[in-house]
């Protein structure tokens, strides 16, 4: 693999490349006659050549040669390297510093130009006529030499992605595009470890060199070594602790497999001694703990509540193994099942293994739907969630804390607005609470209600008696949500005005189907006080004086005890 050295010609020059090199040329429509002609191992360039490009790298023994044609007397200069000619050449004289040469034009002259290090080499030809050398450049060659080390694999430029999406591959720069998904971010892979020997993830690699163009590496052999849990597979037939694969036009891949154990597997991928990627996969063991996040508290009578959508179950269960690793297969996959046990099935139903409505988020968390068994408002029961091993006589592997659910009506009969404090300092955060109850005086069922507008139309928010920076409980008409209550409670925040004095916040309910007649067009209000800055300063001064007096008395006691007058 190499990169290109570009020759830019002002007029026309013939260049021969020795060592590494393939020279190509592009003919202009109105090319002048060439001063130099020549050939390279990759082909020839003729009198119509204008732009020359060659694969070349830096190296202790690498060079470019330029051969002149007959009957061209002149001077050749160079910067960035030095000129030399064969010892037998009599028709050209190279100065001692190697930066210029004079030629008689009687015979073709071949100049050797070393390309030992990266940089730019500029060669210029000045024609001599009648003993006078022109000050105008006749031809120029600019050679860009790339550091050979940059043509090797670059850990900084190469990329890797671990994913569970078989079709996802990555794109690196303009020269590295497989036309697929262009994935740029790792997936967090948590896979089943215990009892599993299947493929769980793919590591896609973009292997490129150190040049700015990030040219794809081709033909290198990559090795992958996994430590901890798991196995890897490259070009071989069977997953193992070590695997290899060959880079094909910049692309390579390994698959990661479970080995029946739990823990973290760390995969290190190298090209020779250069580590180009490190990825991780977490393998889970048997379920050991269940943590419950309660999203719903009150359900409608004789109905289900919550969904299998992320964070919208009646509860979200987080399941981990003994090492705290998330377990993604606890909902009926393999030999694990979730069971819900109710303290009173006549109020809140439970479910047996395989009978619950459960959504697997594929990350060790699960959305579980709940169901009420009665329409009697105010009734409640607790539910405990367990995971059983169906291969071991339903042995309980993990048990959650109990969560309490209640039954509530779906129509608001009373609505009260309150604040978390009676007095606030200027700029303090204020939390406002709407408490909604049904006709029996219990919290309404969880959900969104049309309270201040009908059909979830836009609501500008409650109105404060003085200027504030926010409008609590506001929502746009495109949210289609209304006001959301959980456990009969809805909250919103605002900030106290900067000027002290009494403040009230109020609003009026709409006439909607989700409100009883008693709650239709009902004015709700809450009053509070914002303390003035002067009052606040006075209180601080009073407090400080009290502390000073107490400190003075303490000092007097110490002096008396020590006999100090």
DSSP characters over 61-76: T-EEEEEB-SS--EEE
Same domain? 170 vs 205: yes
Mean pLDDT per segment of 10 residues, for the chain of length 565 residues? 38 41 35 44 40 65 78 88 89 94 88 87 88 87 82 90 72 48 68 88 91 88 97 95 95 94 96 95 95 98 95 96 93 89 98 94 94 97 97 96 98 97 96 98 96 88 92 81 93 94 96 91 96 67 85 86 77
Same domain? 145 vs 202: no
Number of domains comprising the chain: 5
Q: Is 48 in contact with 28 (CB distance < 8 Å)?
A: yes
Same domain? 539 vs 516: no
pLDDT on residue 39: 43
Provide the CATH number for the domain around residue 178. Answer: 2.60.40.10
Domain stop point among 223, 258, 284: 284
Q: Is 41 in contact with 17 (CB distance < 8 Å)?
A: yes
Same domain? 166 vs 267: yes
pLDDT on residue 2: 37
Same domain? 111 vs 16: yes
Q: Is 456 in contact with 479 (CB distance < 8 Å)?
A: yes
Same domain? 403 vs 325: yes
Q: Is 138 in contact with 11 (CB distance < 8 Å)?
A: yes
Same domain? 516 vs 540: no
Same domain? 12 vs 133: yes
Tokens of 127: 């024609």
Structural domain of 184: 159-284
SS3 415: strand
Same domain? 26 vs 72: yes
pLDDT on residue 177: 46
Same domain? 394 vs 492: no
With a CB cutoff of 8 Å and minimum separation 6, the contacts of 24 are 42, 43, 52, 53, 54
Domain stop point among 150, 175, 198: 150
pLDDT on residue 63: 85
Report the run of H or E that residue 78 belongs to, with start and end: strand 74-79
Tell me the residue ranges of DSSP E strands in 272-402. 274-284, 289-294, 298-300, 304-305, 315-320, 336-342, 358-360, 365-368, 370-371, 380-389, 395-399
pLDDT on residue 28: 34
Q: Is 369 in contact with 358 (CB distance < 8 Å)?
A: yes
pLDDT on residue 168: 59
Domain stop point among 225, 256, 284: 284
Q: What is the DSSP string of 360-379?
A: E-SSSEEEE-EEBS---TT-
Same domain? 122 vs 61: yes
Provide the CATH number for the domain around residue 135. Answer: 2.60.40
User: With the CA atoms of 441, 445, 450 and 456 taken in that order, what torsion angle do they form, in degrees rounded to the nearest 10?
Assistant: 170
pLDDT on residue 184: 57
Residue carrying the six token digits 């990555």: 170
Report the distance separating Cα 121 and Cα 546, nearest Å: 83
Same domain? 320 vs 376: yes
pLDDT on residue 185: 66
């Amino acid at each position: 693999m190499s990169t290109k050295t570009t020759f830019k010609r002002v007029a026309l020059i013939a260049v021969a490349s020795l060592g590494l090199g393939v020279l190509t040329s592009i003919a202009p429509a109105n090319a002048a006659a060439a001063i130099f002609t020549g050939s390279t191992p990759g082909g020839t360039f003729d009198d119509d050549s204008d732009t020359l490009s060659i694969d070349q790298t830096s190296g202790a023994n690498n060079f470019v040669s330029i051969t002149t044609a007959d009957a061209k007397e002149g001077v050749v200069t160079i910067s960035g390297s030095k000129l030399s000619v064969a010892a037998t050449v009599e028709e050209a004289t190279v100065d001692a510093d190697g930066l210029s040469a004079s030629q008689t034009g009687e015979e073709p002259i071949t100049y050797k130009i070393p390309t030992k290090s990266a940089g730019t080499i500029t060669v210029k030809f000045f024609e001599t006529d009648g003993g006078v050398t022109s000050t105008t450049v006749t031809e120029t060659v600019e050679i860009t030499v790339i550091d050979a080390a940059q043509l090797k694999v670059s850990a900084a430029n190469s990329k890797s992605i671990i994913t569970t999406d078989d079709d996802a591959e990555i794109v690196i720069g303009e020269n590295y595009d497989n036309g697929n998904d262009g994935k740029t971010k790792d997936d967090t892979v948590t896979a089943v470890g215990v009892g599993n020997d299947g493929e769980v993830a793919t590591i896609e690699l973009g292997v490129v060199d150190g040049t700015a163009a990030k040219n794809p590496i081709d033909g290198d052999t990559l090795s992958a070594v996994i430590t901890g849990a798991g196995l890897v597979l490259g070009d071989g037939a069977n997953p193992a602790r070590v695997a290899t694969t060959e880079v094909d036009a910049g692309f390579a891949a390994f698959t990661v497999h479970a080995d029946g154990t739990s823990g973290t597997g760390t995969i290190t991928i190298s090209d020779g001694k250069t580590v180009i990627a490190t990825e991780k996969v977490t393998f889970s063991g048997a379920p050991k703990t269940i943590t419950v996040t309660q999203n719903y508290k009150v359900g409608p009578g004789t109905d289900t509540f919550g969904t299998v959508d992320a964070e919208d179950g009646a509860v979200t269960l987080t399941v981990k193994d003994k090492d705290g690793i998330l377990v993604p297969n606890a909902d009926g996959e393999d030999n694990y099942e979730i069971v819900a046990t109710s303290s009173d099935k006549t109020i809140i139903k439970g479910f047996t293994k395989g009978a619950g409505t459960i959504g697997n988020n594929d990350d060790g968390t699960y959305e579980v739907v709940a169901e009420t068994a009665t329409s009697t408002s105010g009734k409640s029961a607790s539910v405990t969630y367990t995971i059983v091993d169906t291969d071991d006589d339903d042995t309980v592997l993990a048990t959650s804390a109990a969560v309490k659910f209640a039954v509530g009506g779906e129509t608001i009969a009373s609505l009260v607005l309150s604040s978390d404090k009676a007095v606030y300092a200027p700029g303090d955060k204020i939390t406002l609470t709407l408490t909604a109850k049904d006709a029996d005086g219990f919290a309404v069922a969880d959900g969104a209600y049309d309270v201040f507008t009908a059909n979830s139309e836009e609501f500008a928010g409650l109105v404060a008696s003085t200027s504030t920076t926010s409008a609590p409980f506001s929502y746009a008409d495109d949210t289609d949500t209304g006001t959301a209550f959980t456990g009969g409670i809805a909250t919103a925040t605002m900030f106290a005005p900067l000027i002290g004095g009494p403040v009230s916040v109020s609003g009026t309910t709409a006439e909607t189907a989700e409100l009883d007649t008693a709650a239709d067009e009902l004015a709700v209000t809450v009053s509070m006080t914002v303390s003035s800055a002067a009052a606040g300063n006075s209180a601080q001064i009073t407090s400080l004086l009290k502390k000073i007096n107490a400190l003075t008395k303490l000092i007097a006691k110490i002096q008396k005890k020590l006999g100090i007058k």
